[in-house]
Amino acid sequence: MEIGSRDTGGSDALLGEVFAGCYRVRRKLGRGGMGEVYLAEKTTAEGRLVALKLLHRELLADLKMMARFQREARAAARIVHDNVTALIDFGHSELGVPYLAMEYVEGETLSQVIEREGGPLPERRALRVLAQIAAGLAAAHDVGVVHRDLKPSNVMLCAGGDDVVKILDFGLAKILPEASMMLSTVGSVLGTPGYMSPEQLVGDALDARSDLYSFGLLALYLLTARAPYEGASLERVARQLETAPASLQWLPEGTDAVLRGLVEDCLQRSPADRPNDAHAVVSRLRALGAA
Q: How far apart are CA 104 and CA 74, in angstroms?
A: 19
Q: How far apart are CA 192 and CA 234, in angstroms?
A: 9
Q: How far apart are CA 26 and CA 82, in angstroms?
A: 25
* Cα→Cα distances 286→120, 132, 212, Å: 21, 10, 17
Is the whole-model pTM more than 0.75? yes
Torsion sign across C-alpha atoms 16, 18, 22, 25: negative
Alpha helices for the chain (secondary structure H): 63-77, 110-117, 123-142, 172-175, 177-184, 198-201, 208-224, 234-243, 257-266, 278-287
At 56 the pLDDT is: 76
Q: How far apart are CA 162 and CA 140, in angstroms?
A: 23
Q: Within the chain, which residues score under 70 in pLDDT?
A: 1-11, 32-33, 59-60, 171-191, 230-232, 243-245, 291
Active site residues: 149
At 152 the pLDDT is: 95
Q: How far apart are CA 69 and CA 171, in angstroms?
A: 10
- Dihedral of the alpha carbons of 155, 158, 162, 163, in degrees to the nearest 10: 10
Q: Which run of H or E residues covers position 29?
A: strand 23-32
Domains detected in the chain = 18-103 (3.30.200.20), 108-287 (1.10.510.10)
At 175 the pLDDT is: 61
At 249 the pLDDT is: 85
Q: How far apart are CA 219 and CA 204, in angstroms?
A: 24
The answer to whether 140 touches 79, Cβ cutoff 8 Å, is yes
pLDDT 10s digits, 74-84? 888 999 999 99
